[in-house]
Amino acid sequence: MSIPAFDAKELEVVSKIPMFTGEEIPVFNYPVSMREANKALFAKKPYWQMTCNDQAMFCPLVNPDNIARGFIFEARKLDEKEFGGKDMFGIEWEYIASVGGSMVRPGKPFAEDADELLEKVVWPNPDEWDWEAAAEANKGYFDTNKYNVCWFLNGWYERLIAFMDFENAIMAVFDEDQQESVHKFFDKLTDLYIDILDKYIKYFPEIDGFCIHDDWGSQKETFFSPALAEEMIVPYMKRVTDFLHSKGKTGDIHSCGQNYKQVPNYIKAGWDMWIPQAMNDTQKIYEEYGDKLIIAVVPDKVAPDATEEEQRAAAREFIDKFMQPGKPCLMSYHDMSMCTPAYMEELYAYSRKKAIEIN
C-alpha cells in the first residue's frame, strides 16, 4: 500500500469525536477512510498516528450476554430498565445504573468446583438466536468508511468467574485436581465462541475485527503466573485468533489490570492489539513488545500552562518515540488532557510526514 502525499488541506477539522474522558478530539480531512487507515495500522504501516477512538463499536442485542451486561451498541436501543437478566448460559445478572454495568446476582454461585460445573452447565444453542432479524435491524447501522469492531464480552476466565464467583474460579485454575475439568470446559467454550463468531461474520459482514474481553489482573498485579495462564487459557485463545485470522478479521484482547507480565502470553495467543489500563507502564511495554503487539501508549503529560510551541513539541516527541518502522502504536485515551487543538494538529501533521518517511 502506498501512502498518499501530505496536503495541508488535510488539517481542516471536519468533525469531532467525544472521548470517554470528556474531551473531544478532532477528525481531520483524512486522505483515506478510517477503515483503510486502520487496516494500514494492523499491517504496521500506518498512514498517521491513530488514537483508541478511531474505530466504530458494535455489540448487538442478538447475544443475550450483551443485554445481561447492559452493553449494547447497535441500531436498536434499550432502556436501562431492560438491562440485566439471564446471559447465554442462564446466569442472572443485575444491572447497576449508578456504575453503568452489571454483576452476577449475589448469592450461592452456580458451581463451587470445576467438576460440578461440567455436570451442571446447560450449553446454549446460538442457532436458536434470531440472527436474520438482527441482521435486518442493523441494515444501515454500519459506516463502511470506519473500521467496525464487534465487542465480545465474557471471555474464558471471566466466564469461569460468572459461573463460580472469583474465589472458586481462581482456585479452579490453580488446583491440579480441578484443572482437567477446567480444560474440558474451556475447550467446549472455545467451540461455542467460534460458532458465535462465525455467525457474527456471516450475518454482519461489515465487521472488520473483534475485541474479546478477559480480565487477568487487579490494580497491582496479575491474577495468575504467566506459566499458569499459558497452560490454562492461551491455547484456547489461540484457537479463536487463528479462526479470526483465517476469516480476515483482527483480534483485540481487552484485558483489564496490571498485566505487564502477561504480555508474552497475549502475543503467544495471537492477539493483534492490547489497550492496557493506565496502571501499566505502557511506554515500557511498547519498547519491549511493540513490534509484536500493537499497544496503546499513554503520552507524557503536558503542563497545563504550556505554550502552543511546547504543546507542538510534545506531540512531535511522542511521534519520534512511538512511531518506529514496523512498530506503530495507538495513542491511549486514558489521559487525553494534553490533547489541545495545537497538540492534535501537530500530532497528525507530523505523523503523516513521518509515516511517509519510514514506510
- DSSP state letters, 253-309: EE--S--GGGHHHHHHTT-SEE---TTS-HHHHHHHHTTTSEEEEPPPP--TT--HH
Residue identified by cell 489521559 is 335
Q: 308 is written with which cell numbers?
A: 502552543
In this prediction, residue 21 carries a pLDDT of 66
| pLDDT computed for residue 20 by the predictor | 66
- pLDDT tens across 144-182, in order? 999 999 999 999 999 999 999 999 999 999 999 999 999
pLDDT of residue 265: 98
Question: pLDDT digits over 325-351, tens only?
Answer: 999 999 997 777 778 899 999 999 999
What kind of fold does domain 56-141+149-274 have according to CATH? TIM Barrel (3.20.20)
Burial class of residue 8 in the structure, from the number of CB atoms within 10 Å of its CB (0-12 exposed, 13-18 middle, 19+ buried): exposed
What is the SS3 string spanning 111-168?
CCCHHHHHHHCCCCCHHHCCHHHHHHHCCCCCCCCCCEEEEECCCHHHHHHHHHHHHH
The span from the CA of 103 to the CA of 95, in Å, is 7
pLDDT at 358: 92
What does the pLDDT read at residue 1?
62
pTM higher than 0.85: yes
Structure letter (DSSP) for residue 358: H
152 burial type by CB count under 10 A (0-12 exposed, 13-18 middle, 19+ buried): buried
What are the residue ranges in the chain where pLDDT is below 50? none
Strand order through the sheet with 294-297: 50-51, 330-331, 294-297, 273-274, 250-254, 209-213, 148-152, 56-58
How does DSSP classify residue 329? -
Segments of the chain assigned to CATH 3.20.20.210:
56-141+149-274
pLDDT of residue 266: 98
